[in-house]
Amino acid sequence: MIEVKHLTKTFKLKKKQPGLWGTVRGLFSGEYEAKCAVEDISFAIRRGEMVGYIGANGAGKSTTIKIMTGILAPSSGSCTVNGTVPYENRQQNARNIGVVFGQRTQLWWDLQLSETFSILKEIYNVPAKAYRDTMEFLDSVLDLHEFMTNPVRTLSLGQRMRADLAAALLHRPAVVFLDEPTIGLDVLVKEKMRQAIKEINQTFGATVVLTTHDLSDIEELCPRIIMIDHGRLVYDGSLQNIKDRYGAMKMLKFEVKEAGEARKIRLSTAGLAEQDLKSWCEGHSYFVSFNRHKLGIAEIVAQVMAQAEVLDISIAETGIEDIVKGIYRNELAL
Amino acid sequence: MKRIFQRFRTYWPFAVSEIQMVMSYPANYLMFVFGGIMTTFVTYYLWLAVFKSSPTATLAGFTLQQMIAYVFVSTMTSSLISVGTDQKIAREVRDGSIAMNLIKPIRYRIMYLFKAIGNFLHQFVLIALPLLFILIAVLHLMPGGITAVGLYVFSFSLSFVIQFLFDNLFGLVAFFTINTWGLSVTKNVVVAFFSGAVIPLAFFPEWLQRTLLFFPFGSMVYTPTMFYLGKFAGLQAAAAILTQGLWVVLLGILNHWAWTKAVKRLTILGG
């Protein structure tokens, strides 16, 4: 469905010195520096897949999305979406894709929301029946009727995002690009957005590429992730795999009856490296972080129970957040 | 034919939404209409004063009646054709919202043409019609008769296209310089002065008249207005229409070339 081969995009940026004087000098100097936003990226996405495209700010995510949507042309390399080269046949490609840029809106700012949908209906030549069906479906998932007659400029961020998602899906695109669609949203709206994304994938079989900084979006939606950092591809594979490899750490939390008792607990750490077993306490709670391949839960629980009166135990798995944080900070080599 | 109709249906909503947009803010729009009509009357009284203090009955070949007709028709024409396409394109490039238009299966320039048509339509109804009513029904000023009105309409449609293409070209400059505010201000002053929107070109020295008539400026306001006054006839009329046609073609080609260059340069700011 999407094929990206050795994609590279270099921007030419004018060198700017700081301050007013620097700005003035910048007017006369012709110095440019090349900034490589994306470097030699290759991947392929099959029809109907949901892929999380992640990376830190400025990693090159948006640049790749812009190339795939036909807004930017790459410096070298190639890319096809549904058999079309987006930057060569922008309009043809546009018929196949739906795009949400979380930071921008494609709604008609001064008009009632409903106007946006009737304009888009004409732009994409959506037949009347398909239009009614799709609108009904989108309304059922995103509750658009609540603000359908409000001018777009009066919508809240959550309402606007829901409307923007609906606007991108009106023509039932084969490929949906979502660039930070949940940015700044509260938990309830996020849940609605995710539900809608899930349903278009299942009902219409749409291929979804999602970039986000909220990794719970990814955990809930995307079995596969592609991770880039400083313009280079650092990981392409299943989310489960990365969790297995780097999510071996588990955390146990004990509620202890007496705070004093918690402080006295000692675990026998014979033969274990420091990163495989860590423990600390906060008030009545005693935490143990351990590598589940090296140490069994039962053993730790038995040791703690023998030393203190435990009221409650909870187990937490290392989240994808912690893993990605590690990768961003180069702590985990891939 | 069916394809053209389909195309029209695709782009027509852009014209309609432009009309709806100005109607969303009625107070603002009323002031805009008022300002447009006000400008006409200020210029009208200015020329009235000029003629009253002049010893001769005609100035540069204009009688007072013709001058009044000129003022009405030229302000109307220049307001109908100036829809600010250049500033709108520049704004989209600067804040990056152009991205949202590029992800749609439409031609960017055709979209802007329809937006311009939408702007033309609401200005026609709310500014041009009242002015025409005053001019024809109240002041009985139709010096060239009905043929002249017909020629005016034809010449006007060409000048509308010329101004649109001209503004487009200036809008595209934003792809290279990002901000075009200064350029736009200069352009507007130059166009207002050299297109005959402020003073009829007939008041300029002979050599400047000829030059300006040959530039797209004269084709924008002066030419259609002179048609309305019935002042262009025979060879001169043919030459004027030909010049307009030539500019449509030339600016069209220039636009196409500049657009291909500009789109390659596009770097959308802000992530």
| pLDDT per residue as tens digits for the range A137-170 | 999 999 999 999 999 999 999 999 999 999 999 9
Residue B266 has pLDDT above 80, yes or no: no
Domain boundaries, chain B: 2-269
Tell me, what DSSP letter sits at residue A180? S
CA distance A141 to chain B (A): 24
Is the Cβ–Cβ distance between A68 and A4 less than 8 Å? yes
- Count Cβ atoms below 10 Å from residue A31 Cβ, excluding itself: 11
B106·A72 Cβ contact <8 A: no
Is the Cβ–Cβ distance between A51 and A210 less than 8 Å? yes
Nearest to B268 among A71, A106, A123 (CB): A71
Is the Cβ–Cβ distance between A65 and A51 less than 8 Å? no
Displacement of CA A190 from its chain's centroid (Å):
12
Average pLDDT over residues A93-97: 93
| Closest alpha carbon to A194 in A216, A174, A170 | A216
Q: What percent of chain A has pLDDT over 90?
A: 42
Q: Which residues pair with A236 in a beta bridge?
A: A226
pLDDT band at B182 (very low <50, low <70, confident <90, very high): confident
Q: How far apart are CA B81 and CA B117, in angstroms?
A: 9
Is A291 or A96 the better-scoring residue by pLDDT?
A96
Q: How far apart are CA B111 and CA B113, in angstroms?
A: 5
**Mutation to test the B interface, candidates A16, A99, A101, A116, most B Cβ within 10 Å:** A101
- Which residues are CB-neighbours of A138 under 8 A, at least 6 positions away? A144, A166, A169, A170, A196
pLDDT at B199: 86
Q: What is the CA radius of gyration of chain A?
A: 25
pLDDT band at B83 (very low <50, low <70, confident <90, very high): confident
Q: How far apart are CA A10 and CA A121, in angstroms?
A: 36
Chain B residues in contact with A69 (beta carbon < 8 A): 102-103
CA distance B270 to chain A (A): 9
B105·A123 Cβ contact <8 A: yes
pLDDT at A22: 72
In the 3-class helix/strand/coil scheme, how is chain B assigned residue by residue?
A: CHHHHHHHHHHHHHHHHHHHHHHCCHHHHHHHHHHHHHHHHHHHHHHHHHHHCCCCCCECCECHHHHHHHHHHHHHHHHHHCCCHHHHHHHHHHHCCHHHHHCCCCCHHHHHHHHHHHHHHHHHHHHHHHHHHHHHHHCCCCCCHHHHHHHHHHHHHHHHHHHHHHHHHHHHHHHHHCCCHHHHHHHHHHHHHHCCCCCCHHHCCHHHHHHHHHCHHHHHCHHHHHHHCCCCCHHHHHHHHHHHHHHHHHHHHHHHHHHHHHHHHCCCCCC
| Closest alpha carbon to A250 in A303, A185, A301 | A301
Chain B residues in contact with A11 (beta carbon < 8 A): 267
CA distance A266 to chain B (A): 50
Amino acid at residue number B111: M
B12·A122 Cβ contact <8 A: yes
- Which residues are CB-neighbours of B265 under 8 A, at least 6 positions away? B175, B176
pLDDT at B270: 38
pTM: 0.82
Residue B116 has pLDDT above 90, yes or no: yes
Average pLDDT over residues A188-204: 90
Q: Which residue does chain A place closest to B108, by CA atoms?
A: A91
Those of residues 120-179 in A touching chain B at CB distance below 8 A are 122-125, 151
pLDDT band at A241 (very low <50, low <70, confident <90, very high): confident
B21·A70 Cβ contact <8 A: no
Nearest to A111 among B12, B20, B102 (CB): B20
Q: How far apart are CA A206 and CA A197, in angstroms?
A: 9
A108·B21 Cβ contact <8 A: yes
Average pLDDT over residues B142-166: 92
Q: Is A89 on the interface with B (CB under 8 A)?
A: no
B100·A106 Cβ contact <8 A: yes
B103·A94 Cβ contact <8 A: yes
CA dihedral A237, A238, A241, A243 (to 10 degrees): 110
B102·A119 Cβ contact <8 A: no
pLDDT band at B271 (very low <50, low <70, confident <90, very high): very low
Amino acid at residue number A145: H
Contacts 24+ apart (CB under 8 A), A273-279: none
- Torsions phi, psi for A177 (to 5 deg): -105, 125
Contacts 24+ apart (CB under 8 A), B39-46: B39/B75, B39/B79, B40/B71, B40/B72, B40/B75, B40/B76, B40/B131, B43/B71, B43/B75, B43/B198, B44/B68, B44/B71, B44/B72
Q: How far apart are CA A196 and CA A153, in angstroms?
A: 23
Q: Which residue does chain B place closest to A70, by CA atoms?
A: B103
Surface-to-core class of residue B246, CB atoms within 10 Å of its CB (0-12 exposed, 13-18 middle, 19+ buried) = middle
Is B211 or A167 the better-scoring residue by pLDDT?
A167
Q: What percent of chain B has pLDDT over 90?
A: 40
Between A17-26, A317-326, B90-99, the lowest mean confidence (pLDDT) is in A317-326
B267·A72 Cβ contact <8 A: yes
Between A52-66, A307-321, B65-79, B119-133, the lowest mean confidence (pLDDT) is in A307-321
Chain A residues in contact with B110 (beta carbon < 8 A): none
Average pLDDT over residues B31-57: 88
The packing angle between helices B145-177 and B234-265, to 10°, is 20
Nearest to A115 among B9, B20, B103 (CB): B20
Is the Cβ–Cβ distance between A6 and A40 less than 8 Å? yes
Between A273-277, B5-9, B83-87, B136-140, the lowest mean confidence (pLDDT) is in A273-277
The most distant pair of C-alpha atoms in chain A lies apart, rounded to whole Å, by 76
Is the Cβ–Cβ distance between B212 and B130 less than 8 Å? no
Residues in chain B whose Cβ is within 8 Å of chain A: 6, 9-10, 12-14, 17, 20-21, 24-25, 96-97, 99-100, 102-107, 264, 266-268, 270-271
Token pair for A18: 């700081």
| Closest alpha carbon to B113 in B192, B7, B262 | B7
Average pLDDT value over all residues in chain A: 86
Average pLDDT value over all residues in chain B: 88
CA distance A71 to chain B (A): 6
The packing angle between helices B145-177 and B85-95, to 10°, is 20
Which residue, chain included where needed, has tokens 């500014």? B127
Tell me, what DSSP letter sits at residue A74? -
Q: Is A95 on the interface with B (CB under 8 A)?
A: yes
Q: Is A69 on the interface with B (CB under 8 A)?
A: yes
CA distance A198 to chain B (A): 23
Nearest to B103 among A69, A115, A151 (CB): A69
Q: Which residue does chain B place closest to A95, by CA atoms?
A: B105
Cα angle B222, B226, B229; round to 5: 145
Residue-wise pLDDT for A274-331, tens only, equals 777 878 888 888 888 888 777 888 888 888 888 888 888 888 766 666 667 666 666 5
